[in-house]
């Protein structure tokens, strides 16, 4: 007998179906609630509300588990490559060597960006934030690929849009970086794989061949894998809901970039480094700043700490923290703020305020330290998060379209003024 939930309203009892996912998660299906009862539910911030059924990523916040298409993040971060993980997320299975080669070839054929895209850079103020540039430029890509605007694309057309989005994002990100330095952009080289090509376009020079350090390539692959998807987070849900109106992939991803920008979400990696720098300048008194984070009258929060889902360690934070020591040592980088971060973590994890609220370091707490050691400026960190998250956004967008999900349109409870009669301005 299928499990059901009983809802008692007044003298009536309603039966609601219960569904169970493949990992044992359970949900009360309320898709017919309003028809049955005339009631809607209210869950501001969707803390208890499932928006979809997805087969892409599984999180267990209590156990600190993260799996992409069933594969534990620890194994993928250790053994896979970013482009292989992108294939896994988007197409659902790890590719054979042949399929991976063909995927990489397809991407390499679409890494160039229309030369007219450069004109957009002329309009940006020199210090404009890279995330604002990225969301504008990604949306602008739709102007060059009108075929991607067709709502009902064939599978092949949809796949072409996906390949172009994935391929061109790396080029656009590298151009944003180069333009911020006033340097000439570097063009992609088909001999490189996706991540090496991105690093070549970012750190390469026109005047000489720059060898990309294998340590940097490995670190970048690992970081991008760790950011690749995270089920229905704020930006992924944004991409899905924008795509649900049959908006094209560039507009949907551009909206996801804008959602990710916020310091409560992907913007936290930049905010963490800015916070650590401020604590360093202030003399490194971690106890003082922990006290500020706990003080309800102080707007300061410990950036990089806490998570909507993880009430245990974010598994990505564990991996990145370990990689920090390894990469900084290999690159011979000594970053004082790493020690401050470790001290903050040590103090916070023993403090009842953080323990009671199950606040642990999240993916953003240590990632900026590695990005900085790789040579990226702080305001590029969230752009790098977006580059990593792109395959996840694409996979979520593709799944929503393949499942023919309806346009997203939540309900509300109105609490404004009841009916009023219009009063002529002379009588107000
Ligand atoms: C990402 O969703 C995802 O999957 C996101 C992400 C992904 O991969 O897509 O994992 C990436 O966005 C990670 C999170 C990055 N953001 C930060 O590091 C910003 C700092 N963290 C917080 O702002 C907060 O923890 C959130 C936004 C991450 C989660 O907020 P919630 O779930 O809405 O929880 P809340 O704000 O209601 O906090 C619960 C309590 C509150 O205290 P009380 O009112 O119960 O007394 O915990 C406190 C909060 O004040 N709290 C913090 C805190 N985070 C929560 N107090 C101090 N410092 C913090 N960082």
Q: Does residue 114 carry a catalytic annotation? A: no
Q: Are residues 259 and 113 in the same domain?
A: yes
- With respect to residue 151, please indicate whether it lies within any of the assigned structural domains: yes
Mark which of 17, 40, 65 sits at the end of a domain.
65
pLDDT in tens, 360-397: 999 999 999 999 999 999 999 999 999 999 999 999 99
Tokens coding 371: 């990005």
Q: What is the pLDDT of residue 2?
A: 87
Range 99-112 average pLDDT: 97
Mark which of 65, 83, 100 sits at the end of a domain.
65
Q: What is the pLDDT of residue 152?
A: 83
Q: Does the C-beta of 306 come closer than 6 Å to ligand 1?
A: yes
Q: Does residue 364 carry a catalytic annotation? A: yes
- With respect to residue 336, please indicate whether it lies within any of the assigned structural domains: yes
Q: Are residues 14 and 76 in the same domain?
A: no
Q: Are residues 300 and 367 in the same domain?
A: yes
Backbone φ and ψ for 19, nearest 5 degrees, come out as -115, 150
Q: What is the pLDDT of residue 165?
A: 98
Q: Does the C-beta of 67 come closer than 6 Å to ligand 1?
A: no
pLDDT at residue 150 above 90?
no
- With respect to residue 330, please indicate whether it lies within any of the assigned structural domains: yes
pLDDT at residue 77 above 90?
yes
Q: Does the C-beta of 305 come closer than 6 Å to ligand 1?
A: yes
Q: How far apart are the C-alpha atoms of 351 and 289, rounded to whole Å?
A: 13
Q: Are residues 38 and 175 in the same domain?
A: no
- With respect to residue 420, please indicate whether it lies within any of the assigned structural domains: no
Q: What is the pLDDT of residue 115?
A: 95
Q: What is the pLDDT of residue 209?
A: 86
- Closest C-alpha residue for ligand 1 atom 44: 296
Q: How far apart are the C-alpha atoms of 268 and 207, rounded to whole Å?
A: 36
Rg of the chain in Å (alpha carbons): 23
- With respect to residue 246, please indicate whether it lies within any of the assigned structural domains: yes
- Closest C-alpha residue for ligand 1 atom 43: 357
Q: Are residues 45 and 153 in the same domain?
A: no
Q: CATH number for the domain including 26?
A: 2.20.28
What is the tally of structural domains in the chain?
A: 3
- With respect to residue 409, please indicate whether it lies within any of the assigned structural domains: no
Q: CATH number for the domain including 82?
A: 1.10.580.10
- With respect to residue 417, please indicate whether it lies within any of the assigned structural domains: no
Whole-structure pTM value:
0.96
- With respect to residue 33, please indicate whether it lies within any of the assigned structural domains: yes
Range 60-77 average pLDDT: 97
Q: What is the pLDDT of residue 126?
A: 84
Range 66-83 average pLDDT: 98
Q: Does the C-beta of 311 come closer than 6 Å to ligand 1?
A: no
Q: Are residues 254 and 324 in the same domain?
A: no
Q: Are residues 61 and 84 in the same domain?
A: no
Q: Does the C-beta of 304 come closer than 6 Å to ligand 1?
A: yes
Q: Are residues 53 and 130 in the same domain?
A: no
Q: How far apart are the C-alpha atoms of 65 and 211, rounded to whole Å?
A: 37
pLDDT at residue 85 above 90?
yes
State how far the alpha carbon of 364 is from the alpha carbons of 79, 319, 381, in Å: 22, 12, 10
Q: How far apart are the C-alpha atoms of 105 and 103, rounded to whole Å?
A: 5
Catalytic pick from 200, 307, 314, 379?
A: 307
pLDDT in tens, 8-30: 999 999 999 999 999 999 999 99
Q: Are residues 152 and 295 in the same domain?
A: no
Q: Tokens 């009430």: give the residue.
A: 311
pLDDT in tens, 305-359: 999 999 989 999 999 999 999 999 999 999 999 999 999 999 999 999 999 999 9
Atom of ligand 1 nearest to the CA of 305: 60
Q: Are residues 54 and 197 in the same domain?
A: no
Q: Are residues 101 and 249 in the same domain?
A: yes
Which residue range is the domain that position 24 belongs to?
Answer: 4-65
Average pLDDT, the chain: 96
Q: Are residues 93 and 151 in the same domain?
A: yes
Q: CATH number for the domain including 318?
A: 1.10.230.10
């Amino acid at each position: 007998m299928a499990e059901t939930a009983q809802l008692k309203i007044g003298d009536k009892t309603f039966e609601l179906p219960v569904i169970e996912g493949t990992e044992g998660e359970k949900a009360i299906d309320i898709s017919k609630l309003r028809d049955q009862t005339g009631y809607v539910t209210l869950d501001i911030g969707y803390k208890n509300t499932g928006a979809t059924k997805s087969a892409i990523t599984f999180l267990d916040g209590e156990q600190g588990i993260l799996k992409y298409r069933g594969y534990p993040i620890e194994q993928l971060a250790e053994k896979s490559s970013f482009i292989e993980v992108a294939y896994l997320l988007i197409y659902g299975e790890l590719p054979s060597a042949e399929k991976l080669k063909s995927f990489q070839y397809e991407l390499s054929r679409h890494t160039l960006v229309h030369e007219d895209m450069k004109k957009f850079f002329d309009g940006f103020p020199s210090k404009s934030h890279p995330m604002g540039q990225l969301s504008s430029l990604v949306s602008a890509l739709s102007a060059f690929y009108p075929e991607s605007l067709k709502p009902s694309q064939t599978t092949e057309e949809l796949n072409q849009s996906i390949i172009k989005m994935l391929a061109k994002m790396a080029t656009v990100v590298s151009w944003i970086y180069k333009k911020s330095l006033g340097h000439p952009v570097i063009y992609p080289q088909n001999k490189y794989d996706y991540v090496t090509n991105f690093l070549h376009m970012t750190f390469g020079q026109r005047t000489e061949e720059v060898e990309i350090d294998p340590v940097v390539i490995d670190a970048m692959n690992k970081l991008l894998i760790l950011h690749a998807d995270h089920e229905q987070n704020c930006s992924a849900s944004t991409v899905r809901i924008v795509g649900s109106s049959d908006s094209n992939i560039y507009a949907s991803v551009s909206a996801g970039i804008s959602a990710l920008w916020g310091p409560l979400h992907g913007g936290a990696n930049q905010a963490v480094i800015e916070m650590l720098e401020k604590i360093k300048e202030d003399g490194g008194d971690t106890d003082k700043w922990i006290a500020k984070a706990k003080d309800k009258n102080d707007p300061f929060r410990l950036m990089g700490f806490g998570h909507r889902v993880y009430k245990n360690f974010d598994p990505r934070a564990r991996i990145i923290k370990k990689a920090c020591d390894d990469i900084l040592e290999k690159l011979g980088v000594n970053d004082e703020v790493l020690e401050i971060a470790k001290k903050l973590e040590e103090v916070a994890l023993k403090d009842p305020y953080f323990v009671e609220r199950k606040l642990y370091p999240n993916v953003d707490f240590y990632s900026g330290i590695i990005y900085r050691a790789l040579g990226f400026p702080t305001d590029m960190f969230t752009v790098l998060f977006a580059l990593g998250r792109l395959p996840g956004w694409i996979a979520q967008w593709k799944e929503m379209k393949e499942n023919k999900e309806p346009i997203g349109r939540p309900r509300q409870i109105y609490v404004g003024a009841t009916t009023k009669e219009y009063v002529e301005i002379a009588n107000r």
